[in-house]
């Protein structure tokens, strides 16, 4: 009995000294060769943040072939990556170490740190940069003994309840660790989420859709060997609407076979104007296939306008920074799970002020309508505001199909809708430009019902090196019709031409002196060449004006001016007024019963008065006699 008690006491003491972890925990120690000096092959360096934090550039500290793990002032792992280039075209040129923190810099010869590095980045795509990390790892530096002690707790394995999400795309998805940041936000929001990658640099969805391409084979292997709740798709920057549509159509079959739900990640742009085409492409594909779209591009555009001090882009100006990664991940959380990121406790490597701004901007990008990306959505004259009434309206073109990614005609021969999607391009090489062959092209828009049309705006692009004619000499005319058969020419549009690089852009407008009722709006482009290169037609108008009607005149009087519908029956000529002597009151308001009653009363009253006067006169005569 005593032996049993002694064993129990020993077990209690051991448990108190060494608490049992939910996951396996490892503790290792490795040597440090030097501090705050350039990295050398086979060595392990520690770069220290000091009292205020420090930035270590690859050019000065030779980080081209180094693995990097960064820890905060409490020794908690916050960031990691590899191979920071010194080339100015590299997306990341330096590593930032926070105040009181440090970064371990090493290569594959350090087996201790490589063991943990490989566990952390298992399946995670990263190159030439660092990314925020959420793994349970901490470390401490002993400067006197030059030792780095590491504690690593294995991440909790996913269960049947874990929401599994596969990301398919390129560096616009994986750079700066956006999926991992998203996972961190989900965890902080109480969601059990695990992210997986099928991403390759400079890839496009067409390659993933192709069963014979290496990327297509990789995607099919992922879907055949794993079950996912969501599969997130992101296409390349240069892909056109037809490209993305075709690729998504093929990949949807694979996703459906897996039992997952497809999602589109609207990739960001480096400018507000550049966002236009992504809003259109992802919006139309999402609508066509009823797929949720995570509108990160819209959030980026709002941040560029509202948070000018926050840099969303990496050192190369094209990829996204850690701040951009956080903003995108916040839009994913909100648009996919309907959970607001505002107030989320996970802020990655950002300061709390920046994180809060980006959280709010993500909500705005998801909630607010995409009219942010319309060049003009209203036109105001005096105290009247006219809306863009052509957005989303169908139209019939006369030009021939241009078989390239700038075409506005699908393979089925129908318009793709580029010219009424509400988005003006910012450059002629953007894929939301719609092209038609022919020297004369007319676009006839059906507004659906008669509207009071006040103004029209459109654009034309030219580029001699592309064979697209100079828009300066083009004649663009406006025609209106109520029935779609008889069109009235209103006038020609006018506008100046501006140059941006090799591209010429002419923005043309026509404002009517008075709004005119019309259901059909036709724009005719007469081009001094063989290509009509336009991105948008915006028609500004209001509700239909009341038809002109003849005003009512007092009863018993004939108006001096006939209505438009009056007809001289004797002459048979429309619009002729009646002779003054005619008793016909055609075109005038009539109330026969009312007039008859009034006439009878008038006669009776008059007769009564006459009778009264007659009696008075007779009596007066008798009295005088």
Please spell the DSSP secondary structure of 243-298, one letter per residue.
Answer: HHHHHHHHHHHHHHHHTPEEEEE----SSTGGGHHHHHHHHHHHHHHT-EEE-HHH
Q: Are 176 and 232 in contact (CB under 8 A)?
A: no
pLDDT of residue 241: 79
Cross-sheet strand order for the sheet of 531-534: 400-401, 434-437, 531-534
Confidence of residue 369 (pLDDT cuts 50, 70, 90): low
Q: Which two tokens stand for residue 406?
A: 């700038």
Which 3 state secondary structure label does DSSP give 350? coil
34-48, 230-244, 578-592: segment of lowest average pLDDT? 578-592
Maximum Cα–Cα distance across the chain: 163
Q: Are 192 and 161 in contact (CB under 8 A)?
A: yes
Residue 76 per-residue DSSP state: B
Confidence of residue 55 (pLDDT cuts 50, 70, 90): very high
Can you say whether residue 300 is alpha, beta or left, with left for phi > 0 and alpha for psi between -120 and 50 degrees?
Answer: alpha
Residue-wise pLDDT for 7-34, tens only, equals 444 443 333 332 333 345 789 999 999 9
pLDDT of residue 160: 94
253-257, 330-334, 402-406: segment of lowest average pLDDT? 402-406
What is the 3-state composition of the chain as percent helix, strand, coil, each rounded to the nearest 5?
30, 30, 40
- CA nearest 361: which of 389, 327, 384? 327
Residue 157 per-residue DSSP state: P
More confident residue, 260 or 406: 260
β-pairing, 434-437 with 531-534?
Answer: antiparallel
Q: Does the pLDDT value for residue 576 go beyond 60?
A: no
Other beta carbons less than 10 A from residue 13's beta carbon: 10
Could you give the CA distance from residue 182 to residue 349 in angstroms, rounded to a whole number?
A: 13
Could you give the CA distance from residue 398 to residue 443 in angstroms, rounded to a whole number?
A: 7
Could you give the CA distance from residue 478 to residue 210 in angstroms, rounded to a whole number?
A: 45
Q: Which two tokens stand for residue 344?
A: 């989320």
β-pairing, 261-265 with 230-233?
Answer: parallel
Confidence of residue 483 (pLDDT cuts 50, 70, 90): very high
pLDDT of residue 614: 47
Q: Does the pLDDT value for residue 578 go beyond 70?
A: no
More confident residue, 586 or 146: 146
pLDDT of residue 501: 79
What percent of the chain has pLDDT above 70?
Answer: 82
pLDDT of residue 424: 82
pLDDT of residue 395: 97
20-34, 68-82, 266-280, 458-472: segment of lowest average pLDDT? 20-34
Q: Does the pLDDT value for residue 624 go beyond 90?
A: no
Confidence of residue 5 (pLDDT cuts 50, 70, 90): very low
Strand partners, 26: 152
Question: Which pTM value belongs to this model?
Answer: 0.68
Q: Which two tokens stand for residue 274?
A: 């550049």
pLDDT of residue 596: 45
Q: Does the pLDDT value for residue 575 go beyond 50?
A: no
Burial 383-413 (b: 16+ CB within 10 A, else e): eeebbbbbbebebebebebbeeebbbbeeee
Confidence of residue 372 (pLDDT cuts 50, 70, 90): low
Residue-wise pLDDT for 101-122, tens only, equals 999 999 999 999 999 999 999 8
β-pairing, 475-481 with 503-526?
Answer: antiparallel
Strand partners, 396: 444
Q: Are 254 and 223 in contact (CB under 8 A)?
A: yes
| Section 284-306 average pLDDT | 93
| Section 143-158 average pLDDT | 91
pLDDT of residue 594: 45
117-131, 222-236, 414-428, 546-560: segment of lowest average pLDDT? 546-560
| Section 604-618 average pLDDT | 49
Residue-wise pLDDT for 506-528, tens only, equals 999 999 999 999 999 999 999 99
Q: Which two tokens stand for residue 309?
A: 């001090």
Please report how the helices 276-289 and 241-258 are oriented relative to each other, as an axis angle in degrees rounded to 10: 40
pLDDT of residue 175: 96
Other beta carbons less than 10 A from residue 35's beta carbon: 13
Q: Does the pLDDT value for residue 486 go beyond 90?
A: yes
Residue-wise pLDDT for 394-433, tens only, equals 999 998 888 777 899 988 889 999 999 887 877 788 887 8
Q: Does the pLDDT value for residue 538 go beyond 90?
A: yes
Residue with tokens 């006040």: 454
β-pairing, 163-169 with 230-233?
Answer: parallel
Mean pLDDT, the chain, as a whole number?
Answer: 84
Residue ranges with strand state E in 53-202: 54-57, 67-71, 77-82, 94-97, 102-106, 129-132, 137-142, 147-153, 163-169, 193-199
């Amino acid at each position: 009995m005593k032996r049993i008690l002694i064993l129990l006491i020993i077990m209690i003491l051991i448990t108190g000294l060494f608490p049992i972890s939910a996951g396996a925990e490892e503790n290792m120690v490795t040597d440090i060769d030097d501090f705050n000096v350039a990295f050398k092959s086979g060595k392990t360096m520690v770069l220290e943040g000091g009292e205020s934090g420090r930035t270590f550039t690859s050019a000065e500290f030779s980080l081209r072939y180094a693995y990097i793990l960064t820890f905060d002032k409490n020794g908690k792992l916050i960031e990691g990556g590899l191979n920071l280039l010194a080339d100015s075209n590299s997306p990341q040129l330096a590593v930032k170490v926070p105040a009181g923190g440090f970064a371990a810099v090493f290569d594959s010869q350090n087996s201790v740190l490589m063991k943990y590095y490989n566990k952390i980045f298992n399946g995670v795509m990263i190159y030439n940069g660092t990314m925020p990390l959420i793994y349970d790892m901490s470390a401490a530096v002993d400067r006197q003994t030059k030792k780095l002690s590491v504690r690593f707790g294995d991440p909790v394995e996913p269960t049947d309840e874990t929401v599994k999400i596969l990301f398919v795309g390129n560096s616009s998805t994986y750079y700066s660790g956006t999926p991992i940041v998203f996972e961190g936000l989900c965890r902080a929001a109480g969601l059990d989420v695990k992210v997986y990658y099928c991403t390759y640099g400079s890839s496009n969805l067409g390659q993933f859709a192709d069963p014979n391409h290496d990327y297509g084979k990789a995607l099919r292997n992922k879907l055949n060997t794993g079950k996912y709740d969501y599969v997130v798709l992101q296409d390349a920057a240069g892909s056109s609407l037809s490209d993305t549509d075709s690729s998504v159509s093929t990949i949807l079959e694979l996703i459906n076979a897996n039992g997952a739900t497809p999602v589109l990640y609207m990739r960001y742009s480096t400018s507000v104007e550049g966002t236009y085409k992504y809003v259109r492409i992802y919006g139309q594909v999402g609508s066509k296939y009823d797929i949720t779209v995570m509108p990160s591009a819209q959030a980026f555009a709002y941040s560029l306008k509202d948070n000018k001090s926050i840099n969303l882009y990496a050192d190369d100006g094209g990829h996204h920074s850690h701040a951009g990664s956080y903003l995108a991940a916040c839009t994913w959380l909100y648009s996919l799970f309907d959970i607001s990121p505002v107030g989320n406790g996970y802020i990655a490597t950002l300061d709390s002020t920046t994180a809060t701004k980006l959280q709010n901007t993500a909500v705005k990008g998801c909630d607010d309508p995409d009219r942010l990306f319309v060049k003009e959505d209203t036109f105001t004259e005096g105290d009247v505001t006219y809306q863009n009434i052509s957005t989303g309206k169908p139209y019939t073109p006369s030009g021939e199909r241009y078989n390239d990614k700038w075409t506005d005609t699908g393979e089925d021969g129908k318009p793709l809708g580029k010219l009424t999607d509400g988005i003006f391009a910012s450059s002629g090489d953007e894929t939301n430009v719609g092209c038609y062959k022919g020297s004369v092209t007319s676009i006839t828009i059906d507004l659906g019902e008669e509207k009071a049309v006040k103004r029209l705006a459109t654009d034309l692009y030219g580029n001699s090196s592309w064979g697209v004619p100079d828009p300066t000499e083009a004649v663009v005319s406006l025609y209106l019709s109520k029935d779609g058969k008889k069109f009235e020419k209103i006038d020609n549009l006018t506008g100046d031409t501006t140059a941006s690089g090799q591209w010429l852009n002419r923005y043309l407008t026509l404002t009517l002196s008075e709004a005119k009722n019309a259901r059909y709006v036709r724009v005719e482009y007469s081009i001094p060449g063989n290509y009509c290169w336009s991105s948008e037609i915006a028609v500004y108008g209001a509700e239909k004006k009341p038809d002109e009607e003849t005003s009512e005149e007092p009863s018993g009087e004939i108006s001096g001016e006939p209505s438009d519908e009056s007809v001289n029956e004797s002459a048979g000529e429309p619009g002729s007024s009646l002779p003054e002597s005619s008793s016909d009151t055609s075109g005038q308001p009539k109330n026969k019963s009312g007039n008859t009653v009034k006439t009878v009363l008038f006669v009776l009253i008059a007769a009564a008065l006459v009778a009264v006067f007659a009696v008075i006169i007779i009596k007066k005569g008798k009295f005088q006699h």
